[in-house]
Amino acid sequence: MLWVFYSLLSAGFNGGKVAYDKNLLTGSGLSPVMIIFITMSVIAITLTPVAFFLGEQVYLSNPVFLKATLINVILNAIAMPFFLFMLSRHDGSLITGIQSMEPLFVVGTAFFVLGETVSIYGLIGIVIVISGGFLLQKSRIKEDLGVILLHSPWVMVTVYMMLTSTATAYSKQAVIEGGVFIYLGLRYTCLALLFLSIILFRRLSGKGKKENYQFKIAHIGSGLLSTLSVMFEMIALEMTKAAYVETIRRSSAFFTLVFESIFLKNKWNMARAFACIVMFIGAAIIVLSTGVL
């Protein structure tokens, strides 16, 4: 059950990253492109040397690995600025709560890309986690369901989940065909170079703005949290079905609530706590379905 441990570690670091990013976006003045570039650079610089130390560069000759990595780069190049756009306009735990639906998308994409299927108990657990996400969303906006559907970022988050769930399936394919560190190193090096070119183009065209150097340094912390989160996620993906890993990682909504209550002074309430409990019950059913039921 090591995959559960790694998935929870990934969730914890991801929850911390969301709260950290929300705090920076509130007053840093950094553009989403600059934030992404810093994050991608930190991940690439941290993990690429590890890949070469382990000898994983041999997988660069595998066409299936390269294809899966290229698809991921394209999907993430679209999804990352989209996520920061949502985060700058909505509460972090609200977004991660809605994202609890993502494993259902992963069930579909993993089936088409990898041929993976989940057990009936696993599917029940996924649905319960998704229900917890709905409850968390309901607890954040004290109105009826119609108002929530109209005024919450459902459409934006759904588009984001379609992108990321497809990326998850191809991430597992890349990890299986290659290795965790060479995949992450190559993926984030490409993304860092892509967003660097965007920054340079905006500067040369006179559209870029001067940004606070101190906040750029501060955002290295977000990059380190992202590094740990994606590393543990990929390690877990090697061990079990993609939908199960992503479902356990949805507990990041709980960690986001904790970190936001500490750093952003957001208040807890019973409805939010109950929603998190429901999500953990669903996660427990998934864990049991892989080895007991």
User: Each residue's pLDDT tens digit in the chain (293 positions)?
Assistant: 789 899 989 988 887 887 777 766 655 566 777 878 888 999 999 999 999 999 998 889 999 999 999 999 999 889 888 877 777 776 665 666 566 678 889 999 999 999 999 999 999 999 998 888 777 666 554 444 454 455 556 777 788 889 999 999 999 999 999 999 999 999 999 999 998 998 888 888 776 666 655 556 767 888 899 999 999 999 999 999 999 998 888 777 677 777 767 666 666 667 777 888 888 888 889 888 886 44
* CA 32/CA 83 separation, integer angstroms: 9
pLDDT at 139: 54
**Burial of 45 (C-beta count, 10 Å sphere; 0-12/13-18/19+):** middle
- Output the six-digit token pair for 150: 């109209």
pLDDT at 143: 45
* 47: CB partners within 8 A, 6+ apart: 181, 184, 185, 188, 227, 231
Residue 189 to residues 2, 138, 175, 182, 194: CA-CA distances in angstroms?
28, 39, 16, 10, 9
Query: CA triplet 235, 241, 242: central angle to 5 degrees?
Result: 70
pLDDT at 63: 94
pTM: 0.82
Q: Which long-range contacts (CB under 8 A, 24 or more apart) does 201-205 make?
A: 202/33
pLDDT at 66: 95
Nearest to 70 by CA among 194, 226, 181: 194
- Output the six-digit token pair for 25: 């976006």
User: Coil, strand, or helix at residue 142?
Assistant: coil
Half-sphere exposure (CA, 13 Å, Cβ side) for 48? 14
